[in-house]
Amino acid sequence: MITYALRLARQLLYPLLIGAAFGAATASSAPLAPDKLTVPTGFRIELLTDAVPNARAMTLGRYADGRGVVYVGSMREGKVYAVEIGGAAPAKVRVIASGLELPLGVAYRNNQLYVSALTRILRFDGIDNSLDKPPAAQTVLDGLPSETHHGGKYIAFGPDGKLYFAVGAPCNVCVPDEAHGNLQRVDADGRNVEVIARGVRNSVGFDWNPRDGTLWFTDNGRDMLGDDVPSDELNRLQRPGASFGFPYCHEGRIADPQFGGQRPCSEFVAPMARLGAHVASLGMRFYGGAMFPADYRGNVFVAEHGSWNRTRKSGYRVVRVVLDAGGNVMRDEPFVSGWLSVDASGREAVHGRPADVLVLPDGSLLISDDLGGAIYRVSR
């Protein structure tokens, strides 16, 4: 009876706790000054703009001669922004869409911008030439799950020209139906929807390894099992249809206390890396640029949004995941930190929440911060 009562209490309280924490975390805040952030020796970081409230996923539009447009989803604002960067002038920010429901994901292809909006994927044609007067949205795909818990859908175009998107599980932990807890792909015109991975709790970032073309993605571990388990995951999809364990197995080795008896961890694909419990690993990108040292090529950058339910906070940084020539993870280490501070008395303070990373053609790295409404640039 005690076990059942505790479980019931957790199930009832969980939506309230995460809602309160998420609401507080997404409130606007002044962005942290770049000189308060720590980067490796030889690197520098600058603030490109602080005029993109709730800046989340990013994608690059037209780019030439060091100048271009970065499109940014703003999930809680219901808007999509265009940020013109490059040259001596400050970044110019425009709202190109508003009134959308959870427009987290943005993806660009052939002067077309694709945007996820909860149940729909939209397309804006000729966008690069229409920033001052954006075109009307065209619906590419409709009828996606409408739950707002883990409802924001990250999207990106793969090397095959198809549009990939994630659909999270509408819960902390549950057995999702066929429509949830997966990764999917679809033709650019909205035809031929296909589920390519299952057992995915909530992926908010993925990219393709340039060495072998495999899809890698972050996945957020479940809550309410304590401070240190389970870890967030960095996963690799080597074959369509693979399953990654949710809700039966977490981080490749921990059986869920409620569902783990139904299927063993040995049935599922284990993660390539365990990134830490509750760090909220979101956007990730492989680094293929030439600006950073040669040993950075083929590495992965991951934005850790930061914990909401841990005794001592974790995350709130960008990490570098180092891979060897065979694509095996060797280690992960901090790359940009400082958004979480601890004073002499042990009091913690949050100054920003990294949400996505984006490698520019010149090899520099952009970082979005949804708490500060900011975009930073790391270069050498």
CATH number of the domain encompassing residue 88: 2.120.10.30
Domain that includes residue 118, residue range: 2-379
Instruction: Report the domain count for the chain.
Output: 1
State both tokens at 122. 């939209």
* Extended strands (E) in 142-256: 155-157, 163-167, 182-186, 194-198, 206-208, 215-219, 231-237, 242-243, 249-250, 254-255
Check if the beta carbon of residue 306 is closer than 8 Å to that of residue 353.
Answer: yes
pLDDT in tens, 40-98: 999 999 999 999 999 999 999 999 999 999 999 999 999 999 999 998 788 999 999 99
Strand pairing partners for 375? 49, 368
Report the C-alpha gap between 279 and 209 in whole angstroms: 23
Q: 126-136 in b/e burial notation, b at 16+ Cβ within 10 A?
A: ebbeebeebbe
**pLDDT at 190 (0 to 100):** 98
SS3 329: strand
Q: Does the pLDDT value for residue 6 go beyond 60?
A: no
State both tokens at 331. 């280690």
Residue type, 1: M
Q: Does the pLDDT value for residue 299 go beyond 80?
A: yes
SS3 152: coil
If one counts every other C-beta atom within 10 angstroms of the C-beta of residue 95, the result is 14
SS3 265: helix
Report the C-alpha gap between 278 and 305 in whole angstroms: 9
pLDDT in tens, 109-145: 999 999 999 999 999 999 999 999 999 999 999 999 9
Report the C-alpha gap between 375 and 356 in whole angstroms: 10
pLDDT in tens, 256-294: 999 999 999 999 999 999 999 999 999 999 999 999 999
Indicate the burial class of 174 (C-beta count within 10 angstroms; 0-12, 13-18, 19 or more).
middle
Of the candidate ranges 19-28, 204-213, 311-320, the one whose mean pLDDT is the lowest: 19-28
SS3 295: helix
Enter the DSSP assignment of 57.
Answer: -
* One-letter-per-residue 3-state SS of 2-52: HHHHHHHHHHHHHHHHHHHHHHHHCCCCCCCCHHHCECCCCCEEEEEECCC
Indicate the burial class of 229 (C-beta count within 10 angstroms; 0-12, 13-18, 19 or more).
middle
**pLDDT at 27 (0 to 100):** 54
Instruction: Tell me how many degrees the CA angle 349-79-83 measures, rounded to the nearest 5.
Output: 80
DSSP H helix total and E strand total for the chain: 1, 29
**pLDDT at 16 (0 to 100):** 44
How far is residue 195 from each of residues 99, 182, 269, measured CA to CA in Å? 29, 7, 16
pLDDT in tens, 147-169: 999 999 999 999 999 999 999 99
Contacts 24+ apart (CB under 8 A), 90-96: 90/49, 91/48, 91/49, 91/51, 91/375, 93/49, 93/51, 93/52, 94/131, 94/132, 96/71, 96/124, 96/127, 96/131, 96/134
pLDDT in tens, 321-355: 999 988 999 999 999 999 999 999 999 999 999 99
Residue 127: closest CA among 113, 117, 110, 114? 113
Question: Phi, psi (5° rounding) for residue 58?
Answer: -125, 150
Q: Which helix (H) or strand (E) holds 275?
A: strand 273-277
Report the C-alpha gap between 316 and 171 in whole angstroms: 23
SS3 380: coil
